[in-house]
Amino acid sequence: MKSDFIQESNFSAMPTSEAILEAEKVTVHYGSFMALRETYINIPKNQITAFIGPSGCGKSTLLRCFNRMNDLIPGAKVGGKIRFHGENLHDRKFDKRIEEIRRRIGMVFQKPNPFSKTIYENIAFGARINGYRGDMDELVERSLRQAALWDEAKDKLKQSGLSLSGGQQQRLCIARAIAVQPEVILMDEPCSALDPISTLRIEELLHELEERYTIIIVTHNMQQASRVSDMTAFFNVKATESGQRQGYLAEYDRTEVIFQNPKEQVTQEYVSGRFG
Amino acid sequence: MSTSRPIADLDSPSESNFNVALPSRHGLDKIFEVASWVATFVGLIVLAALLIDTVVDSLPRLSWGFITNFPSTRAVAAGVLPALVGTLWLLVLTTLVAFPLGVGAGIYLEEYAPDNLFTRAIEINISNLAAVPSIIYGLLGLQVFVRWLLPVTGGRSILAGALTLALLVLPIIIITTRESLRAIPGSLRQAGFALGATRWQVIREHIFPLALPGILTGTILAISRAIGETAPLIVVGAATFITFLPTNLQSKFTALPIQIFNWVSRPVVANPDKNFQFNAAAGIVVLMVVLLGMNSIAIFLRNKFQKGRA
Ligand SMILES: Nc1ncnc2c1ncn2[C@@H]1O[C@H](COP(=O)(O)OP(=O)(O)OP(=O)(O)O)[C@@H](O)[C@H]1O
Ligand SMILES: [Mg+2]
C-alpha cells in the first residue's frame, strides 16, 4: 500500500495497487471558462475506476486529459500535471510522442464510432499504423474474442463495421482499442447508447479486461458504477460568484465506501438519487 | 381529464388550446406542392426547348466529317477538329493542375490549419475569388501566364489557357473539398487519433476516402463549367482560325466555345456555303457531348468509390 495514494486529507482510503496515472492539481480551461478545478486523483493499476457526477462537472474533460485528446479542442488549456508511470504527459518532451501516449492509453467513446471499413480493417488499422509486426489475423481474432464479439463477427469480418448493431459496434470499438495493446482504456459512457443486455455484456467484459488493463469508466448509471468499479470518483459542480459552473472532484474512495458510507453529504445525496 | 371525444370533434375549438385547422393547412400544403412543381417544370421546358432547337439546327452539319475537319471558309466543309482537340487538352491540363492544388489546399485549410485571423482571411478571400467574374481571371492569366511567364508558357499557348482555367476553378475545388471534409463526422477523426494515428494517417485512411466522392463530383462540375468558358480564353488569346493540332504545351490553340462563338458571330446569310449558324449549333452539340461524357465519368467515379469502401 502506498501511503501517498490519496493526496487530499479527506480521502483516506488506500487502494491496494500502485497508481498508473496520477493527476496533480489539474485545471482545465475552455477559453476563459474553467471547466475543471484543481483536481488530484490517482488511478490504480489493473483496477476499474468509475467517474460519476452530474452533467457538465468535467468527467469527460478530465478523461481527455489522460490521453491528451484535449489537444484537439481549440482553446482547451490543461494546467497541472498528469503523470503516467511517474512522467508528466503534458510535458513538452511528450509533444512529439503523443501518438505513443494514445496507443498506450486507449479510448472508447460514448457513441460507437467504428470506421467506415470492414470489421477486420477496423481492428487492423490501429495495429498497422503503430507498426505491429505480428500475425494480423491472429491479433484480429484475439481482440474480437477479448471484446466478446468473435462469435457474432467471425463470419463477416469482410463486412462493414457499420453493418453491426449498436451494441456490437461498441464492442468492436472496444476490440479496436484493445488491439493496439494499451495499458489503460478510457471509456466515456460506453453503454449510454446500449440496451440492458448489451450493457450487461460490456460490464462482464470489463471484469475480464480488468486483469490486463487499467480502466477508467465514466457513467451516469449508479448501479453500473457500483457493479463494475473498484474505485469511484464523484465529481460535482459549484457556481462561482460570477455565476460560472466549475467542476471539481468532490470525493474519491473505494466504490463501496462511496455508495454505502460516503464522507460528503453531496455524495450521499447523489448516489442515493436525492441530488439537486 | 375530460372524457375522450370522438375524433371528428378534435378540430372544434371548444375546451382546447389547439386550433388544428387541418383543411386550411392541407390547402397551403397543396399550393406549395403545385408551386414547386411549376418551378421544376418551367426550368425543364426552357431547357428542353433550347436543346431541341440546337439539335435541330445542328442536323445539317452533324456528321463524322464535322468532327474530323479543320475550319474552313466554306461552312459546309468547316469542322471542329482543332477546337475539340484543344478542349480535350485544356480539360486534361486544367484537371492535372487544379485538382491536386485545390484538394491539397482544401485539406490543409480544413484539417491542418489553425483557426486564426490569417487562415480566416484566406478563407474569406477564397470564397470571394469563387465569385469573381471569369473575364477577370482572363486578365490575370494574360498578365501572369502570357506576359510574365512567357519563357515557360510560350505566350498565348495552350498551357497559358489551361493555367488560367485552373486558376478559375481552384477556389471552387478548394471550397468543395472543404465542405466534403467537413461533412465527415468528427467522431471518426477522434477514433483515429485515440488509436495513436497521426493526422495524415487519419485523413488518408478514414476521412479522405469518405470525402472523395463529394470532392470528385464538385471538381468535375467545376471543370465542366470551365470548359464551357469563352471569355478568359479570348483574353489570354486563343486563336479562332487554326489549321493544325496542338503538338506541345506551348502550341497555339483554340477551343470549342471559342469556335462556336466565332461561328455564331458570323452574319446569317441565305447561301448555305456561307451560313455558319448550323456549324455553331453542331459545335454546341459536340461540346455538350464532351460535358455529358465528363458528368458520366463523375457519376461513375462516385459510384465506384462509394462501393469501394465498406
Ligand atoms: N469542447 C468544449 N468547448 C467548450 N466547453 C466545453 C467543451 N467540452 C466541454 N465543455 C464545458 O466543460 C464543462 C464540462 O464538460 P464535460 O464534457 O467534461 O462534462 P461531463 O461531466 O462529461 O458531462 P456529461 O455527463 O454531460 O457528459 C461543461 O460546462 C461544458 O460546457
Ligand atoms: Mg461527458
* CATH code of the domain containing B83: 1.10.3720.10
User: Which of A67, A106, A116 minimises the CB distance to B210?
Assistant: A116
| pLDDT of B106 over the 60 cut | yes
Residue B277 contacts residue B268 (beta carbons within 8 Å):
yes
Residues B172 and B279 in one domain: yes
Distance A188 CA to ligand 2 centre (A): 6
B140 sits in which H/E element? helix B134-141
| pLDDT of B306 over the 90 cut | no
Residues B18 and B87 in one domain: no
| pLDDT of B133 over the 90 cut | yes
Closest residue by Cα to atom 31, ligand 1, is A56
User: Which of A102, A117, A180 minimises the CB distance to B309?
Assistant: A117
Residues B110 and B259 in one domain: yes
**Residue A99 to residue B198: CA distance in whole angstroms:** 7
User: Nearest residue of A to residue B205 by CA position?
Assistant: A125
Residues B188 and B155 in one domain: yes
Confidence of residue A72 (pLDDT cuts 50, 70, 90): very high
Confidence of residue B184 (pLDDT cuts 50, 70, 90): very high
Residues in chain A with CB shorter than 8 Å from the CB of B111 are none
Q: Does the distance separating the beta carbons of B309 and A109 come in below 8 Å?
A: no
Considering chain B, what percentage of its residues have pLDDT values greater than 70?
94
Residues B128 and B240 in one domain: yes
The pLDDT tens digits of the residues spanning A16-36 come to 578 999 999 999 999 999 999
Residue B35 in domain: yes
The pLDDT tens digits of the residues spanning B51-66 come to 999 999 998 888 898 9
Q: How many domains does chain B have?
A: 2
Domains of chain A (ranges; CATH) run 19-115+184-271 (3.40.50.300)
**Residue B61 to residue B144: CA distance in whole angstroms:** 39
The pLDDT value recorded for residue A13 is 42
The pLDDT tens digits of the residues spanning B13-53 come to 556 788 889 999 999 999 999 999 999 999 999 999 999 99
Residues B17 and B131 in one domain: no
Residues in chain B with CB shorter than 8 Å from the CB of A143 are none
Residues B91 and B224 in one domain: yes
Residue B1 in domain: no
Residues B206 and B174 in one domain: yes
Residues B33 and B80 in one domain: no
The pLDDT tens digits of the residues spanning B77-89 come to 889 999 999 999 9
Q: Which range of residues forms the domain containing residue B54?
A: 7-58
Residue A114 contacts residue A162 (beta carbons within 8 Å):
yes
A31 shares contact with chain B (CB less than 8 Å): no
Average pLDDT for B239-245: 82
**Residue A121 to residue A102: CA distance in whole angstroms:** 19
CA distance B128 to chain A (A): 26
Whole-angstrom distance between the N-terminal and C-terminal Cα of chain B?
Answer: 54
Residues B100 and B192 in one domain: yes
Residue A232 contacts residue A239 (beta carbons within 8 Å):
no
Residue B2 in domain: no
Residues B78 and B38 in one domain: no
Residue B131 in domain: yes
Which ipTM was obtained for this model? 0.90
Q: Indicate the DSSP class of residue B284.
A: H
Tally A–B CB contacts below 8 A: 79
Atom in ligand 1 nearest the alpha carbon of residue A63: 18
Residues B90 and B17 in one domain: no
The pLDDT tens digits of the residues spanning A200-250 come to 888 998 998 898 999 999 999 999 999 999 999 999 999 888 888 999 999
A115 shares contact with chain B (CB less than 8 Å): yes
